[in-house]
């Protein structure tokens, strides 16, 4: 092959760090998978024969027994699907893995079809009787789930309609999600930096170059991303259009009055609460612009552009091998809580992490909670940067949270998205504070706080902008019909510009960069949960710094509770009222303090340079 078309084999210090899915199934395609799939299908049929038409007449003790059986069948049916999904994420181009994943979804749907009646019959129980049952001690372990099911009552269809939607999802929404994943994960960018031969890299690697110190390489990487996305825009826009319309159709069929209601019900937050959050983020945009004015001065540039957003303020800050990142994160967790560090350490000892770079591997990072009878698994794409150390800390926070909440059972182990980031962002803060405390070099401290601020901006203000983008796309799709890629790009620019004010200019190429973001495809209106989680954790961390070690057991209790109570109820245990209109200002105020600290450190550093 010529140099311009040669495929680069990704590599980093995480080479060989791959997860072992043996705790789900010892053989990737062994008899255990078929046994669980068939067993769940058979048990679901027997469960339906025993309980259909009887849920409303069960005593609390009988309903508790039925719930336990329902939960066990659901977990058994989910295990093969989760396994197939993790294998596919690790190798989206692997022979037969996509088909295996699809088949697993279809068989899982067959199980869920048999169980849909439980929720529908529970929703039909008169309110007084339902309340009496939920107040009974026998149902204490399922109370919150039962309450959540009843909140969906106004938007639930008949059983035949619910079954039909579930079945058609596999060739509808779910199919388009898979198409997006395969399309984006297979993209190759022709990266032609001025200081090296051109080569093909993954989209993930090209985006990672934007965090590099050399501006010409960043420009080349940004150009490579745009030139890769552009030929695919029509397909990616079609997928987004189709799923936006699918969302609108579901809202219409279920008579939901607001496009965000489904997500808000799942997140257990009201639309006024979301609006207050987004408005607080909008007010905080001035802090982003203030910081980027500082960054422009530190970089010595006349103007900043989108490809400069993540440039390091210093070029000689240390990198980190995967082994060093492991040590850093575990030490920070140990300082906070030996129990947290012990759980995090199991991810390394048990090979529960997949961190190496591979062609065909899904981009980004995630922690999959799996099922209570197993444990979470973490996926990273580790590239030896300090940013990746923070990503490891983030995903291990998720992992610890998911590990602790397994005791709540399959139905209530997962939290709403609004509090799903609680442990992950807290873990990042622990590592950041440790690095700041152990660095005596003012230059390194300034570099660290700048990197942390940019991470916070990406999590709070960028995610708020992305939520605004989704609001505009879904509104335009409903009012105007199918949107052209250029129209989607215009909306993308409209919501992103206010974040930077006059401190940074978005180039025309940036208008296409909505196209690779999976949240818009997989989880409509997911993004505000990041803003929620980051600002919440900043407030939590402030509480920890005030209270010290007394805070730790109550924090771990919060994580262990999983989704067994609403976010408001869980956080009230820590004296936090997330429903208060001014709550979000606490997090914004802490960000302002960090910006002021960065400005002070920059002044001291530049003064020392001038004096030297």
Q: Is the pLDDT of residue 10 over 70?
A: no
- CA–CA–CA angle 535, 521, 426 (5° rounding): 25
Give the pLDDT score at 472.
98
Establish if 188 belongs to a structural domain.
no
Q: Is the pLDDT of residue 518 over 90?
A: yes
Q: What is the mean pLDDT of residues 175-183?
A: 93
Q: What is the mean pLDDT of residues 586-601?
A: 93
Q: What is the mean pLDDT of residues 361-379?
A: 94
Q: pTM to 2 decimals?
A: 0.82
Mean pLDDT of the chain: 92
What proportion of the chain, given as a percentage, has pLDDT over 70?
Answer: 98
What number of H helices and E strands is found in the chain? 24, 5
| 26/418 Cα distance (integer angstroms) | 34
Establish if 135 belongs to a structural domain.
yes
Establish if 78 belongs to a structural domain.
yes
| 354/363 Cα distance (integer angstroms) | 12
Q: Which CATH number belongs to the domain containing residue 126 in this structure?
A: 1.20.140.70
| 63/48 Cα distance (integer angstroms) | 14
Residue 69: which H helix or E strand, with range?
A: helix 60-90
Give the pLDDT score at 317.
67
pLDDT tens-digit readout, 193-227: 998 999 999 998 899 899 888 999 999 999 999 99
Q: Is the pLDDT of residue 529 over 60?
A: yes
Q: Is the pLDDT of residue 253 over 80?
A: yes
Instruction: Return the closest-CA partner of residue 514 out of 536, 532, 488, 535.
Output: 488
In which order are the strands placed within the sheet that holds 366-368?
A: 353-354, 377-379, 366-368
Tokens of 133: 């049952």
Establish if 517 belongs to a structural domain.
no
Q: What is the mean pLDDT of residues 14-32?
A: 92
Question: Within 10 A of 322 (CB to CB), how many other CB atoms are there?
Answer: 24
Q: Is the pLDDT of residue 348 over 70?
A: yes
Establish if 373 belongs to a structural domain.
no
Q: Tell the burial category of 129 from Cβ atoms under 10 Å away from its Cβ (0-12, 13-18, 19+).
A: exposed
pLDDT tens-digit readout, 450-465: 989 998 999 999 999 9
Q: What is the mean pLDDT of residues 397-424?
A: 94
Q: Is the pLDDT of residue 20 over 70?
A: yes
Q: Is the pLDDT of residue 15 over 70?
A: yes
| 19/354 Cα distance (integer angstroms) | 5
| 336/440 Cα distance (integer angstroms) | 21
Cβ(531)–Cβ(460) below 8 Å: yes
> Helix (H, G, I), strand (E, B), or coil: what is residue 8?
coil
Establish if 297 belongs to a structural domain.
no
Beta bridge partners of 305: 505
Worst-scoring range by mean pLDDT, 83-97, 249-263, 281-295, 312-326?
Answer: 312-326
Q: What is the mean pLDDT of residues 104-127?
A: 94
Using 50, 70 and 90 to split pLDDT, how confident is the model at 542? confident
Tokens of 460: 């709070």
Establish if 111 belongs to a structural domain.
yes
Establish if 437 belongs to a structural domain.
no
> What is the count of structural domains for the chain?
1
Give the pLDDT score at 440.
79
Domain of residue 103, residue span: 25-171
Using 50, 70 and 90 to split pLDDT, how confident is the model at 5? very low
pLDDT tens-digit readout, 428-451: 999 999 988 887 788 888 988 998
Q: What is the mean pLDDT of residues 180-201?
A: 92
Measured CA to CA in angstroms, residue 146 lies from 119, 138, 151, 153 at distances of 9, 13, 9, 11
| 312/315 Cα distance (integer angstroms) | 6
> Helix (H, G, I), strand (E, B), or coil: what is residue 214?
coil
Give the pLDDT score at 259.
97
Give the pLDDT score at 467.
98
pLDDT tens-digit readout, 51-68: 999 999 999 999 999 999
Give the pLDDT score at 94.
87
What is the bridge-based pairing of β-strands 353-354 and 366-368?
Answer: unpaired
Cβ(428)–Cβ(576) below 8 Å: no
Q: Is the pLDDT of residue 593 over 50?
A: yes
Measured CA to CA in angstroms, residue 23 lies from 28, 240, 371, 407 at distances of 11, 36, 11, 17
């Amino acid at each position: 092959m010529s140099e311009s078309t040669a495929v680069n084999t990704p590599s980093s210090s995480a080479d060989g760090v791959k997860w072992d899915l043996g705790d789900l199934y010892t053989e990737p395609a062994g008899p255990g998978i078929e046994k669980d799939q068939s067993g769940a299908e058979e048990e679901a049929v027997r469960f339906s024969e025993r309980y259909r038409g009887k849920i409303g007449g069960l005593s609390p003790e009988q309903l508790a027994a039925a719930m336990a059986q329902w939960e066990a069948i659901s977990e058994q049916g989910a295990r093969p699907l989760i396994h197939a999904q993790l294998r596919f994420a690790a190798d989206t181009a692997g022979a037969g893995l996509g088909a295996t994943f699809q088949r697993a979804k279809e068989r899982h749907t067959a199980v869920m079809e048999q169980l849909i009646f439980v929720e529908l019959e529970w929703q039909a129980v008169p309110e007084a009787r339902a309340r009496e049952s939920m107040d009974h001690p026998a149902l204490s372990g399922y109370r919150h789930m039962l309450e959540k099911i009843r909140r969906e009552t106004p938007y639930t269809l008949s059983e035949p309609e619910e079954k039909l939607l579930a079945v058609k999802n596999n060739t509808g929404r779910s199919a388009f999600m898979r198409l997006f994943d395969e399309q984006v994960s297979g993209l190759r960018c022709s990266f032609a930096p001025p200081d090296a031969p051109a080569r093909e890299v993954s989209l993930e690697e090209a985006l990672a170059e934007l965090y590099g110190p050399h501006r010409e390489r960043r420009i080349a990487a940004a150009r490579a991303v745009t030139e890769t996305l552009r030929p695919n825009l029509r397909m990616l826009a079609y997928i987004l259009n189709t799923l936006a319309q699918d969302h609108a159709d579901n809202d219409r069929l279920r008579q939901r009055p607001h496009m965000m209601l489904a997500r808000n019900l799942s997140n257990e937050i009201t639309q006024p609460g979301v609006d207050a959050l987004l408005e607080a983020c909008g007010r905080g945009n001035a802090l982003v612009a203030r910081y980027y004015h500082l960054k422009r001065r530190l970089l010595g540039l006349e103007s900043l552009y989108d490809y400069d957003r993540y440039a390091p303020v210093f070029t000689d800050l240390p990198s980190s091998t995967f082994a060093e990142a492991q040590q850093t994160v575990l030490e920070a967790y140990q300082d906070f809580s030996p129990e947290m560090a012990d759980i995090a350490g199991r991810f390394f000892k048990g090979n529960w992490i997949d961190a190496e770079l591979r062609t065909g591997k899904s981009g980004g990072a995630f922690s999959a909670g799996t099922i209570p009878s197993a444990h979470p698994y973490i996926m990273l794409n580790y590239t030896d940067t300090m940013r990746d150390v923070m990503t490891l800390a983030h995903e291990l926070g998720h992992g610890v949270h998911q590990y602790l909440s397994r005791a709540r059972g399959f139905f209530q182990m997962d939290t709403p998205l609004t509090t799903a980031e609680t442990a992950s962002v807290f873990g990042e803060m622990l590592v950041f504070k440790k690095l700041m405390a152990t660095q005596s070099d003012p230059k390194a401290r300034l570099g660290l706080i700048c990197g942390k601020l940019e991470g916070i901006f990406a999590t709070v203000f960028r995610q708020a902008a992305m939520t605004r983008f989704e609001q505009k796309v879904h509104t335009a799709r409903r009012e105007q019909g199918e949107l052209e890629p250029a129209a989607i790009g215009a909306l993308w620019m409209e919501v992103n510009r206010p974040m930077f004010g006059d401190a940074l200019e978005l180039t025309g190429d940036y208008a296409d960069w909505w196209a690779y973001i999976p949240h818009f495809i997989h989880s409509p209106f997911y993004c505000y949960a990041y803003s929620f989680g980051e600002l919440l954790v900043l407030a939590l961390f402030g509480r920890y710094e005030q209270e010290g070690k007394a805070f730790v057991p109550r924090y771990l209790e919060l994580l262990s509770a999983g989704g067994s109570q609403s976010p408001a109820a869980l956080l009230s245990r820590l004296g936090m009222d997330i429903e208060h209109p001014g709550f979000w200002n606490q997090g914004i105020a802490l960000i302002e303090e960090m910006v002021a600290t960065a400005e002070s450190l920059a002044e001291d550093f530049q003064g020392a340079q001038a004096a030297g």
